[in-house]
Structure 1
Amino acid sequence: MSTATPVIPDSSPIVLEKAQIRSWKAPIAFGIFVLISLILFFGFPRHGTSTFKFTETTDKVALPNLVVDTFSTTVIVTIILAILTAVAFYLSWQARKVSLWLVIGFALVFMFGFLAWAGSGELPVPITGLLLGTVSLSVPLVFGALGGVISERGGVVNVAIEGQLLAGAFVSAMTATLTGSWAVGLIAAMVAGVLVSFVLAAFSIKYLVDQVIVGVVLNVLVTGLTSFLYSKVLAQDAALLNHPPRLPEWPIPVLSDIPIIGPVLFQQSIIEYLMYIAIFVVWFGLFRTRWGLRLRSVGEHPEAADTVGINVNSTRFWNVSLAGAVAGLGGAYFTLGSVGAFSKEMTAGQGFIALAAVIFGRWDPIKATLAALLFGFATNLQNVLGTIGSPVPSEFMLMLPYIVTIFAVAGLVGLSRAPAADGKPYIKS
């Protein structure tokens, strides 16, 4: 019995075409901001001059103010935004990725035009103060985002960042007050974050409960518990239990004298310097060490990791705990570095914005940090606009951080892929 061998004629070649995937999120978001620019800058034009102030009277090196014509600046800015939008549409049409740097450039240009429009004829826009406030308000967001990156790179969705921040804030306030040491308060905040993470890890990894549900329940639990203890314990004797020492400011010699950059980055307290170290350590650890390789492997393909001898669930458990320690350290900033005392629900949803930074940053520690800085900038912008007497309604300024969060995650993030096993429990066969 003979079998015929199929022959493919030369005139009918097999052509394998690469599938093209186009994402229109970023171009559409760019277009919306161009429309906003047209409405603001031309529908409500402002004339005169706008002043940008780069140094304060206490700075050792003074820089001259930048004075620009308001209407001309807004026209130029709108043209540049339209060009960048056209570039984004072209890249998407060619099924090419819209670079993060293009997004950052677009945001900087738009913000320059918006500040010129909002500050026309009013008090000068304090650039150093704007950036300094951005870094300060971004500290808990950065720590929370780094904790989220560590946890989700290992395959566990960390919706409980809000609870970890709040627990860290509460415990650090009480511990630092009782001991009189901010250092003990920082350590206690990390322990509190770990304890919240233990519960998340136990239920989601050991008992296979839905990770999102566990995270939401933990947020509610920690919020209720800290509010109850604040009312029944801390508020009864605030001087004894809720008056922690503030983190001292440690300016770095020479570097702190650099105009703009010095006061913003190198005239801070220890928790900001720990933030710089944490960003580098998490990035280096994830992509340059065996620990990072193991962590990413259990988040991408736990079955393959298991076959080479990696204990998947144990790796996930301990790294979720590490993520909680990092986020808890961010919670300590509220009570030891910012407010100076604990109050009910003082994190005010910062954990959810940190989770949005993780998604916007595409589960990369550097990009998540940039996203956290963007949200911190949006939060501080409302304070600056109120100070210079901007015509922007105060109600809109209160909504600004959350509007930016929605646009960033829903519009600017483009195509993104979470770790393949993120949110999926692993059952060893």
Structure 2
Amino acid sequence: MDAVLITNVLAATVVAGTPLLLVALGELVCERSGVLNLGQEGMMLMGAVIGFIAATSTGSLSMGILAAMLGGVLMSMLFALMAITLAANQYAAGLALTIFGIGLSSFVGSGFVGQSIDGFDKIAIPLLSDIPVIGPVLFNQDLLVYGSLLIFVLVFCFLKYSRGGLILRAVGESPEAANANGLKVLPVRYMAVAFGGAMAGLAGAYLSLAYTPMWTENMTAGRGWIALALVVFATWKPERVLLGAYLFGAASILHLVLQGLGWNSSTELLAMLPYVVTIIVLVLLSWNPARTRLNTPLSIGQPYRPSK
């Protein structure tokens, strides 16, 4: 491949990895609080359809983004009510949320299937976009790609350097000990789940307003499930989530490039490539079981009932 093709592939990799990066960062924060939300796929789909409907109805992509994030938050609050307030089984509540989101998004978006919209345009950052290779890849993207990188930096700094990040991790490690030290466990978990919902909604909106600016049923194509696996295999570290998201993006673009180059293989086999490659590489990265256990939030998936 020549230099131009390589640059285009790398730029497309960042675009393809952006929705996965957003939803995985949200789930990472959620799981750091000790809550496992398996409803990412359903929340992404609701974000995609709500964002698309809002954008087409108002003519504003910004309104579409805000509506999608709000829709994701509302969906996540439904999960939080079951899993946090009512202390229901988090696995069952998350699966129920995904099933609900898949069905509701299909119903709500039935009248918009196949419609298209003018999505986000690329914004070239002066001077930086002229840097060979790196410029077109990182500094000639749409607004949501820049936003995803900013969110990554904020999440990384929040978890590693802030008092709020320390509180979040304390709640995820031992809610009983956190409560004994005066920390409000339930509000912290609610805020973490809400952030995860907002990021899932934003990721869904990116699919319907930027990546492929149209609405189709089940357009997330399993990205919510990949995000869940990504967070675990990345051992709850934002930098590894970033790597895994772009790895998935690279594999997604690679299978299209191979098709364009006339690769003699079935379309279905090539379509599996992003999922298989991402899982294999992430498994290898997290091969050390001791490291994985060390980084796993101890209370993840366990309901917490405050003492009277």
Sort the TM-score into its range (normalised by shorter chain).
over 0.9
* Pairing 1:62-77 to 2, within 5 Å after superposition: none
State the partner residue of 1:168: 47
State the partner residue of 2:159: 286
Does residue 1:53 correspond to 2:2, yes or no? yes
Does residue 1:130 correspond to 2:3, yes or no? no
Does residue 1:212 correspond to 2:85, yes or no? no
State the partner residue of 2:34: 155
TM-score normalised according to structure 1 size: 0.68
User: Which has more radius of gyration?
Assistant: 1
**Which residue of 317, 330, 333 corresponds with 2:206?**
333
Partner of 1:250, secondary structure, is: strand
Does residue 1:388 correspond to 2:223, yes or no? no
Give the AA of the match of 1:378. A
Q: CA deviation at 1:264?
A: 1.1
State the partner residue of 1:359: 232
State whether residues 156 and 316 of structure 1, in contact with CA within 8 Å, keep that contact through their aligned partners in structure 2. Answer: yes
Q: CA deviation at 1:284?
A: 0.6
* Pairing 1:28-427 to 2, within 5 Å after superposition: 52-55=1-4, 126-231=5-110, 233-235=111-113, 242-414=115-287, 415=289, 416-417=292-293, 418-427=296-305
State the partner residue of 1:77: none
State whether residues 141 and 354 of structure 1, in contact with CA within 8 Å, keep that contact through their aligned partners in structure 2. Answer: yes
Distance 2:131 2:264 in 1: 33
The answer for unaligned runs of 5 or more in structure 1 is 1-51, 56-125
Q: 1:408 to 1:158 in 2, by over 3 A?
A: farther
Does residue 1:428 correspond to 2:301, yes or no? no
State whether residues 123 and 140 of structure 2, in contact with CA within 8 Å, keep that contact through their aligned partners in structure 1. Answer: yes
The answer for unaligned runs of 5 or more in structure 2 is none
Distance 1:282 1:406 in 2: 23
Q: 1:212 to 1:408 in 2, by over 3 A?
A: farther
Distance 1:53 1:392 in 2: 23
State whether residues 189 and 331 of structure 1, in contact with CA within 8 Å, keep that contact through their aligned partners in structure 2. Answer: yes
Q: CA deviation at 1:173?
A: 0.3
Partner of 2:298, secondary structure, is: coil
Identity within the alignment, %: 41
**Alignment length, in residue pairs?**
302
Q: 1:159 to 1:308 in 2, by over 3 A?
A: same
Give the AA of the match of 1:187. L
State whether residues 76 and 194 of structure 2, in contact with CA within 8 Å, keep that contact through their aligned partners in structure 1. Answer: yes
Give the AA of the match of 1:381. L
What do residues 12-64 of structure 1 show as CA deviations (whole Å, max 9, x unaligned)? xxxxxxxxxxxxxxxxxxxxxxxxxxxxxxxxxxxxxxxx3112xxxxxxxxx
Q: CA deviation at 1:313?
A: 1.2
Q: CA deviation at 1:395?
A: 3.5
Give the AA of the match of 2:53. M
Moved more, 304-313 or 390-399: 390-399
Over aligned residue pairs, what C-alpha RMSD do you find?
1.5
State whether residues 159 and 355 of structure 1, in contact with CA within 8 Å, keep that contact through their aligned partners in structure 2. Answer: yes
Give the AA of the match of 2:69. M
Give the AA of the match of 2:133. I
Q: CA deviation at 1:347?
A: 0.5
Give the AA of the match of 2:49. F
Distance 1:177 1:326 in 2: 21
Give the AA of the match of 1:403. V
State the partner residue of 1:74: none
Whose helix fraction is larger, Structure 1's or Structure 2's?
A: 2
Q: CA deviation at 1:411?
A: 4.4
State whether residues 180 and 245 of structure 1, in contact with CA within 8 Å, keep that contact through their aligned partners in structure 2. Answer: no
Q: CA deviation at 1:185?
A: 0.8
Give the AA of the match of 1:294. I
State whether residues 51 and 68 of structure 2, in contact with CA within 8 Å, keep that contact through their aligned partners in structure 1. Answer: yes
What do residues 83-120 of structure 1 show as CA deviations (whole Å, max 9, x unaligned)? xxxxxxxxxxxxxxxxxxxxxxxxxxxxxxxxxxxxxx
